[in-house]
Amino acid sequence: MNNPIAKNIILVIGVLFFQLMILNQLNLAQSLLPLIYPIIILSLPRNINKSLLLGIGFGLGLTVDVFMNTGGANAVACTLVAFFRTFFLSSLAPSDMGSETIRPSVINMGFKNYAVYIFLLLAIHHVAFFFLEVFTFNEILWTLSRIIVSLIFSSILVLVYQYLFVSKKK
């Protein structure tokens, strides 16, 4: 399992399966739709080519759109996440944290910085996605409450994922 490409493919398939076949099918509550799959974009290596990053974001979002029947809402949200990732990484992750190829994770960024990193980027994703999904500013409070509840849940799930799967390898 040292081949990074195989590792990436397993990560993508695993996360998408969990998102689409388990989280989406559970239909937890009317206000709750945790979206954790942007973790794929968030944990790509730090020095990745910028246009490749945007391309991966768009492709990933479009894949999820096909499964969720959401037109292009996920594609837009993911492209935004991929676009803003660089800014947040440069301010939240110290550049002397070792190799430039390192993947952002809770270990090499520290709990506080990593939590801020995923919370802000997931917030961008959720705001874009939920507003594009309803496509109206009517009942804005209801949409906002859906965003906040789902965002809290998604962030917790991503942190749990980090401690379960990423920490062990160290």
Partner 1 sequence: MLVIGLWLTIQQKNYQRTAFINSANTISGGAYSTVNNVQDYFHLRSVNDELQAENAQLRAQLLTSLRRVNGDYFQVVDTLYQQKYIYRLADVISNNYTSANNYITLNMGSNDGVIEEMGVISPTGIVGIVGAVSDNFCTVISFLHPKTEISCKLKSNGVSGFLKWVGKDISKAVISDIPITTRVNQGDSVLTSGYSSVFPAGIYIGKIVKTEKDLENQTQRIEVDLNIDYSALNKVYVVENLFKNEIEELSKKEEELDE
Chain residues binding partner 1 by CB under 8 A are 20-21, 24-25, 27-33, 54-55, 57-58, 61-62, 65-73, 75-76, 79-80, 130, 132-135, 139, 142
The nearer residue to partner 1, 20 or 152, going by C-beta atoms, is 20
Report helix, strand or coil for 32.
strand
The nearer residue to partner 1, 65 or 109, going by C-beta atoms, is 65
Alpha-carbon torsion angle 14, 17, 22, 23, nearest 10? 80
Residue found under tokens 């390192």: 102
Q: Shortest distance, CB of residue 1 to partner 1, whole angstroms?
A: 24
Q: Shortest distance, CB of residue 68 to partner 1, whole angstroms?
A: 7
Fill in the DSSP letter of residue 29.
B
Q: Shortest distance, CB of residue 69 to partner 1, whole angstroms?
A: 4
- Give the rounded distance of the alpha carbon of 19 from its chain centre: 11
Question: Per the structure block, which two tokens stand in for 33?
Answer: 């739709």
